[in-house]
Amino acid sequence: MARGTAAGPRAVLAYLIRRLFAAAVMLVVIILVVFGIFFLVPRWAGVDPATMFVGKQADPAAIEAVRQKLGLADPIFAQVWEFFKGIFVGRTYSSGGDVTDCAAPCFGYSFKSEQAIWPVLTDRFPVTLALALGAAFLWLLFGVAAGVLSALKRGSLWDRGAMIVALGGVSLPIYFTGMLSLAIFSYGLGWIDGRYVPLAESFTGWLGGMILPWVTLAFLYAAMYARITRATMLEVLGEDYIRTARAKGLTEPVVIGKHAMRSTMTPILTMLGMDLGALIGGAILTETTFSLPGLGGAVLQAIRDKDLPVILGVTLITSLAVIIANLLVDLLYAVIDPRVRLS
Amino acid sequence: MTAPLHEPTAEAAPSAAEEAALVAGSAEAKAVQGRSLGRIAWERLKRDKLALAGGMVVLLLILIALLAPVIANLVGQDPETHHEDLIDPLFSTPKGAYGGISGDHLFGVEPVSGRDIFARIVYGARISLLVGFLSALVAVVLGTILGVLAGFFGGWVDAAISRVMDGLLAFPQLLFIIALVSVMPNEMLGLTGTGVRLFVMILVIGFFGWPYVGRVVRGQTLSLREREYVEAARSLGAGRFYILFKELLPNLVAPIIVYTTMMIPTNILTEAALSFLGVGVKPPTASWGQMLSAAIDYYESDPMYMVIPGVAIFITVLSFNLFGDGVRDALDPKGSR
C-alpha cells in the first residue's frame, strides 16, 4: 500500500506544536469561563461572590476578610494572573495579620476546608484514574467485540439480541444500574462488600470495591460502543477496498482483522479520547453512586459548598485530562489512518 | 487558521459526517422516485414495528405529562400530600410489602414522608419531557442557525463558529452545567424556585447541545451549497436569502429531525442526572432524578422506591431511542432496518 504523504519527523513536530498551542489556548479559555461563572454570573444576578464563599449569615467582617484574602475586589484579570502565578511559584493569601501560605504548585486554597487544593487532587486522582481505565478496558473489549460480531452476522439472532441489549444499555442511567447492582450483588446476594477500600490497605478489598463500578460503567459505554462499532463496520464492509482485498484472495480473518478493523477503529478512538478524558476529569455520577473518593466526588462537594478554589483546581485538571486524551487520540489517528493529513 | 474548510477535520467525528452524507443521499432518492421524502420515510417507518412501539409510548408519555393533574385525581392522590400514617416509625420505610403498594397507592409511598409515588411519577414526567423537549429545541435552533451561517458564508465566520464548536465539545460539560445551575439565584426574571431551575437547566443543557447539531448542519450546508441546483438558482439571479431558505433549508430538514429525536433522550438523562446530583429540581417538586437520589439511602430497606423511578426513566429514554433509531433508518436509504 502506497503511503501518499509520508509524514516526516518535521511535519509531526509542527503538528504537535500546533496542537499543543491550541490546547494551551483552550485551557486559558476554560479558566476564564470558570472565573466568569463564579464571579460575573452572580454579579449580574445581584449576589456578592464573597458572601457565597462564607455563607449568607456570616458577619460583614468575615465577608470582608474573605474578599481581601481571595483578592475578590481586584480586577478579574489580576485574579486570573494570581492564580497562574500560584501554580508555578506558590502563593500567599493574606488579610491584615492573617496569612495563609500555599506552596507551589498551588492550585488554590480552600477556605471552607482549610487546606491547599493540590494534595486533595493528588489524593483523589488515582481513584478516578483507576475507575476510568479499568472500565475503559472492559468496555473496549466487550463493546467492540459485540459490535464486530453483530456486523459480521448481521440480521442473526445474536445481532438482534445484542443490539436490543445495547439499546437498553444506553437508555439506563448509570446511577440506576449502579444502585441496582449494589442492591442485588452487595445487599441481596452478599457476594461483594461494595465499599471502597484503598489499594494500599488490601488488594482484594480494593478489587471488591471497584468491580461493581467498573462493570456498571463499562456496561453503559460498551452498549454505546457496540452500536457505533456495528454501524461503522457495516459501512466499512461495503467499501471497494474490502471487495478488492477479498478478490485478492485474502482470507476472511485477514480482511476483517487487518483491513476492516483499521477503518472501524478510527471513530471508536475519537470517542474513546473524549469519553476517557471526561471520565478522568471526574466520573461524577458513578463516584456519587458508589461513594468512591475520587475527583468527581470532590468537585460535586465543592460545587455544593460554592468552594471556588476547589472547583477551579479540579476543572483545570479535568480540562487538562480531556485535552491530553484528545491530543493522544489525534496522534494515534495519524498512526492508524494514513488518510489523515497532518494539517 | 489553515484548517481545510471543505473537508471534515480530524476532530469532527466521521460517523456524524457520514450520517449527514447518507441523509443527503436520501434527498437524491427523492428525485428518482418522484415521491416526497416525508412520504418515503413514513412508509419505511410504518414497517418498523419497534420504532412504532417506541413512538406510541412517547405519545402516551406526552399525554400523561399533559394530563398529570387529571390522572392523579383519578386515583385520588396528589404528589405532595404526606401520608405519615403509612410509614413504619421504627425504620421510616413504608408499611406493607413492596414499598407500601396498595389499591390506594398503586406504586406505594415514599419513605419518611409517605408521599404517593404514582402521583409523583406522573408529575415527574412533566419535568422530564419539558426539559427534554425545550432544551432540544434550544440546541436545534442555535445549532441550525450557527451551522448554516458557518457553512454558507465560510471564511472567518466559519472559522470562528467552528472553533467555538470544537471548544464546547471538548469542555467538561457536566461539570459546567452543574456549576452554572448551582450559582443561579433563587429568583430571576419573575420566576422563583423550581421555575428558575427549570429555565436555567433548559438553557444550559440546550447551550451545550448545539455544537452537535451545528457540526452536522455545517457539514451538510458545505456540501449542498456547491450542488448544481444551487448553482442554477444563483445563475438565475436568486439572492442569498432565497438560496438559504428555499434551496438549502428544506434539504437540511432530514438531518435536523434525526438529531432532534436523538437529542431528546440524552437531555432527559441529563436532567435526571442533575436532579439526582441535587442541583436540578428539588423536592417537594417531583422529578424522577430527584426520587432516585432520595432512594439511594433506602436501596436496602425499600428497593421499590429506587426501582420505580428508575424504570420510568428507562422506559422513557428507551422509547425515545427506539423511535429515534427508526426515524434515522427511515430517512436513510442505505441504513439497516
What domains can be seen in chain B, in order of their start residue?
A: 64-331 (1.10.3720.10)
pLDDT-based confidence at B10, cuts 50/70/90?
very low
Q: Give the ipTM.
A: 0.76
Q: Write A251-254 long-range contacts (CB < 8 A, 24+).
A: none
SS3 category, B49: helix
Cis peptide before B284 (omega within 30 of 0): yes
Are the Cβ atoms of B14 and A267 closer than 8 angstroms?
yes
pTM of the model: 0.79
Phi/psi region, residue A163 (left: phi>0; alpha: psi -120 to 50; beta: rest), is alpha
Question: From CA A115, how far away is CA A279, in angstroms rounded?
Answer: 25
Residue spans per domain, chain A = 2-116, 117-341
Contacts of A311 in chain B (CB under 8 A): 179
Decide: B280 and B287 in contact? Cβ < 8 Å. yes
Are the Cβ atoms of A284 and B178 closer than 8 angstroms?
yes
Between A and B, how many CB-CB pairs are < 8 A? 148
Nearest residue, CB atoms, A326 vs list B14, B170, B269: B170
Contacts of B276 in chain A (CB under 8 A): 173, 175, 285, 288
Question: From CA B227, how far away is CA B229, in angstroms rounded?
Answer: 6
pLDDT at B17: 43
Contacts of B314 in chain A (CB under 8 A): 168, 171-173, 176
Are the Cβ atoms of A179 and B265 closer than 8 angstroms?
no
CATH 1.10.3720.10 fits A117-341, yes or no: yes
Nearest residue, CB atoms, A171 vs list B13, B178, B314: B314
- The amino acid occupying position A179 is M
Are the Cβ atoms of A330 and B2 closer than 8 angstroms?
no
Kind plus residue range of the DSSP H or E element containing B88: none
**B222-272, pLDDT tens digit by residue?**
888 777 888 888 888 777 778 877 778 888 888 888 888 888 998 998 888
Decide: A135 and A217 in contact? Cβ < 8 Å. yes
Question: From CA B48, how far away is CA B52, in angstroms rounded?
Answer: 6
Could you tell me which chain A residue has the CA closest to the CA of B169? A274
pLDDT-based confidence at B133, cuts 50/70/90?
very high
pLDDT at B60: 92
**A54-74, pLDDT tens digit by residue?**
655 567 777 777 777 767 667
**pLDDT by residue for chain A (343 residues), tens digit each?**
444 444 566 776 777 787 778 777 877 777 777 777 766 666 666 666 666 666 555 677 777 777 777 676 677 677 777 777 777 777 777 666 666 777 767 777 776 777 777 888 888 888 888 898 899 999 999 988 888 888 888 878 888 888 888 888 888 888 888 888 888 887 777 777 767 777 777 777 777 778 888 988 998 888 888 888 888 888 888 888 888 888 888 888 888 888 788 888 878 887 888 788 778 766 888 888 888 888 888 888 887 777 777 777 777 777 777 777 777 777 777 666 655 555 4
Handedness of CA A131, A136, A138, A139 (dihedral sign): positive
Nearest CA distance, A37 vs chain B (angstrom): 6
Mean pLDDT of B207-217: 87
> Could you tell me the three cell numbers for B145?
442557525
